Structure 1
């Protein structure tokens, strides 16, 4: 069983690097750094982590092809791979509409744009010179002056079309889900895509649940800590997902309205226990372990623990460590 942790670079780089080092000591296999324009730059953070760690794989979890041209992403992740001694992985998805809109960007054709970006990045990282004029990106004799390599690309997503595409072209998949129902449907979509794939059709795809996680001995503290993140996840969830969990479109749209207006305290108050159950792994260590078991029983080989981790990060990690060690041993 593989475990990853999503690091949110919303604190000084030194602190994020220290958290990454601590998690490598805990036995975590992957470190993913979340990419949001309002936080620290992911590649600066990843470089800091690469220089202080020795075994964990690391990469953006996830970046997108709207804010940054895939040629720049190819250069950046190749540099992280060089600095880390070949430990880089790339998480790529469509980003979220709310964040992109704040930068004046339209969230158009997310599946097609992400797929084209993967093609460009993979070929540039592999040493090709590209003259590429397709739907979204134009390159004219573009080539990296970096030693060619092969970096695994994980596709992050939640919707059925994105996950099917992930199965077609991804080396790995980060399913944005914390509930067994969503993982079951997501796995079906990924394998449907893999059946249609011409990219290494016999490859083993590393499929991970990219979860929202909060753990504490005090269950209520864990649930309260996870509400802001659940609010954001629920607000951006597709219709099929909220219907699966008996959450109304009205509830979803109310959350979306509050978040778009930066009224996060009001959004937090709209989060129900049903939403917390649907969109997070949260509660006491026993609660969290039970949900982890449920996800593993769906056939997963990897789980990524995302923010907020719990009411106090270091204390939460101390609760998570024995769970990871139990599966490792």
Structure 2
């Protein structure tokens, strides 16, 4: 059965406590895990620590921590510490993010993202083993240190985010899971083939690699308001967040639409870009509308063979009460 998890809002929230409150609400309503992204707002580690301290059962996870803003060794230390404070409830999500964030915000060259992702995963695993780390790679070389504290009693699964064929293949070959976002059902199935190829190349078992699909969702009594919020969110990602989402959408059969949305946004016309998210495209990428409609659309994503968990994400323009209403309407205990 597909797990239903919670992807806490990427947009700024009133406080850390408001994010903790959403995780608590998710725990009460039966969500399996609360994922938290890290972009250019609050750092995810502090917030995840707060959530771990204020909840009892819900899993916690990063989706994602960028691999350019922390060294691989620090990521390993962080994972070990979060696993300790959460009593074994952590799942670590890593990924390169994109040039817009890495170069524009962190001021770091977005260099060799696939190789850097692979080496980061390997080093984090070595750190979490508790053994002395010796690694000589193309991006990183380190030796002579080990965790000063004991390694986690419960191993930390490491997931990798990716949108293109090679990045998804890498997840299948080296990671414990793949995080997918802004995918149509047909587009996701194409990438699942890349994941399986990576699993084969790594001599692994496909059952050991978990797939998490983040779905933009909004379920409100005012169904048109819900759909407009989801449109705005998707237009922002395709138009404003660099080239990766646009290229991914183009690969999924929406090349003209992806290029038009990006062009409108680049021209300073976000409303035009939003209008270019047609009803068909919105239905193919998200679950938005009245609660009944959103639940029906969410079921389409959950029925995809190969998807292990769906993460309910929220439009960046949604108000706190709209996030809460969607969380409750789409909760596992609401089915």
CA distance in 1, matches of 2:327, 2:206: 34
Worse-superposed segment, 300-309 or 118-127 = 300-309
Unaligned runs of 5+ in 2: none
For residue 106 of structure 1, give the secondary structure of its aligned residue in structure 2: coil
Q: Which residue is equivalent to 2:3?
A: 2
Q: Which residue is equivalent to 1:234?
A: 238
Note the alpha carbon deviations across 1:274-322, whole angstroms, 9 max, x for none: 3534433222222222222211222123101123287333344334435
Unaligned runs of 5+ in 1: none
TM (normalized to structure 1)?
Answer: 0.89
CA distance in 1, matches of 2:185, 2:317: 21
CA distance in 2, matches of 1:136, 1:35: 23
The structure showing larger relative contact order (alpha-carbon pairs under 8 Å, at least 6 residues apart) is 2
The number of equivalent residue pairs is: 320
Given the alignment, which residue of 60, 68, 71 partners 1:69?
71
Offset at residue 233 of structure 1 (A)? 2.5
CA distance in 1, matches of 2:304, 2:29: 25
Offset at residue 209 of structure 1 (A)? 0.8
Q: Which residue is equivalent to 2:285?
A: 279
For residue 260 of structure 2, give the secondary structure of its aligned residue in structure 1: helix
Given the alignment, which residue of 243, 255, 266 partners 1:257?
266
Offset at residue 61 of structure 1 (A)? 0.7
Contact 1:222–1:310, Cα closer than 8 Å, also in 2: no
Given the alignment, which residue of 293, 296, 313 partners 1:290?
296
Distance 1:295-1:88 versus aligned 2 partners, 3 A rule: same
Distance 1:220-1:247 versus aligned 2 partners, 3 A rule: farther
1:314 to 2:321 alignment: yes
Q: Which residue is equivalent to 1:212?
A: 216
Q: Which residue is equivalent to 1:87?
A: 89
Q: Which residue is equivalent to 2:55?
A: 53
Matches within 5 A, 1:1-329: 1-8=2-9, 10-11=12-13, 12-36=15-39, 38-102=40-104, 103-149=106-152, 150-198=155-203, 200-201=204-205, 203-235=207-239, 236-239=244-247, 241-248=249-256, 250-254=259-263, 257=266, 266-271=269-274, 272-274=276-278, 275-299=281-305, 300-308=307-315, 311-325=318-332
- CA RMSD across the alignment: 2.3
For residue 66 of structure 1, give the secondary structure of its aligned residue in structure 2: coil
Offset at residue 87 of structure 1 (A)? 0.7
Note the alpha carbon deviations across 1:143-170, whole angstroms, 9 max, x for none: 2112213200111111111111111112
Contact 1:164–1:191, Cα closer than 8 Å, also in 2: yes
Offset at residue 131 of structure 1 (A)? 2.5
For residue 237 of structure 1, give the secondary structure of its aligned residue in structure 2: helix
Distance 1:194-1:256 versus aligned 2 partners, 3 A rule: farther
TM (normalized to structure 2)?
Answer: 0.87
Distance 1:238-1:141 versus aligned 2 partners, 3 A rule: farther
